Structure 1
Amino acid sequence: MINDKDFAKEVTRIINLIAKTIEDNDITGNIDVDVNGDILNITTQSGIFVLNKQASVKEIWLSSPVSGPYHFLHDGKSWKSKSGKELFSVLSKDLDIQIKDLL
């Protein structure tokens, strides 16, 4: 399992990666991205997505107005939900923007 220091570093990297990827690929300019510490708010026409760090359980939580809530745990290779859905895949589908897994 990932230790606390590495978890914090990885989540910061993931949040910044997602924010930059959205900003770089939102050619229509319809998505607003706001990073505030360990919280990423993504405002779209579909609603507000919230991605944040849950340090006590070492998870990334996503609230999606498109597909609902998710809790993602790092499995040593990627961030996956209990149902096996991968973080970048869920966001790519819900936002209709390709977010690459750069772990």
Structure 2
Amino acid sequence: MARLPNLFTTGVASLRRHLLPADRVPPGRRLISSARIPDRVAISRQAALVTGTFGAAALRPAQTTCSFALQPRRTTHSASGFVISDLTDSEYHDISRDTMETLHDNLEVLCEETDLPGFDVEYTSGVMTLCLGSHGTYVVNKQPPNKQIWLSSPTSGPKRFDYDRGSGRWFYHRDSSTLDGLLNTELSAIVGDAVKVL
């Protein structure tokens, strides 16, 4: 087997001389994953043998196997003790519908009580848009395939909330913030008074 020159010292030009057109490389020696190489060219096993700076030769496999499958999400715990509950489709729809309707009703009351210019809330087809004039726009929507509620906040950015059956709250797995806590805190700061929308 011919050794290739060290790529760190001689560069890619040397490697190109060792590349063969795809039709000249035997099928058993072709690399399956060649996404960065033009379609007409494949790398033979010989070309995949590269000596690193530490002198250890590395032979890449003739093909790479990808072993993953889409599976239902398992129940996991967050740092604060919240648990992502496995909800049936009908449970998710009932809980998320109740959450969104409660949020919408409370935001409409807040809209009527607040003198904030540009304050408006709309809710259609599982998507709620809360416009707060110069403070930006919040979007809250249901995500049935993931059984989540997504929030896009002009203050804290996007978050995906899972439901915890034990506490009855929607929480963000990465930082354990809750949908109600986040909205109440951010809207209180914008309105200038303590509010509770969920």
TM-score normalised by the chain length of structure 1: 0.89
Counting only pairs closer than 5 Å after superposition, residues 40-79 of structure 1 correspond to structure 2 as 40-45=128-133, 46-76=135-165, 77=167, 78-79=169-170
SS, match of residue 145 in structure 2: helix
- Counterpart of 1:81, as a letter, is Y
Letter in 2 for 1:32: D
Q: How many angstroms does 1:22 deviate by?
A: 1.4
2:122 maps to which of 34, 38, 41:
34
Name the structure, 1 or 2, with higher relative contact order (CA <8 Å, separation 6+). 1
CA distance in 1, matches of 2:115, 2:151: 22
Q: Which protein is bigger by CA-based radius of gyration?
A: 2
Distance 2:114 2:181 in 1: 21
Task: Give TM-score scaled by structure 2 length.
Answer: 0.48
- Of 80, 97, 102, 2:171 maps to 80
Q: How many residues align?
A: 100
Mapping of residues 14-29 of structure 1, within 5 Å: 14-26=99-111, 27-29=113-115
Instruction: Give unmatched runs, 5+ long, in structure 1.
Output: none
What is the CA distance between 1:25 and its match in structure 2?
2.6
Deviations 1:10-31 (A, max 9, x none): 1111111111111223322432
Cα deviation for residue 69 of structure 1 reads 0.8
Distance in structure 1 (CA, Å) of the matches to 2:122 and 2:150: 16
Write the deviation string for residues 40-85 of structure 1: whole angstroms up to 9, x where unpaired: 1000031110001111111100000011111100011210001110
AA aligned opposite 1:89: G
Q: Name the Cα RMSD after superposition.
A: 1.3
Report percent identity of matched pairs. 26
| Unpaired stretches in structure 2, ≥5 consecutive residues | 1-85, 189-194
Give the Cα separation in 2 of the matches to 1:32 and 1:43: 5
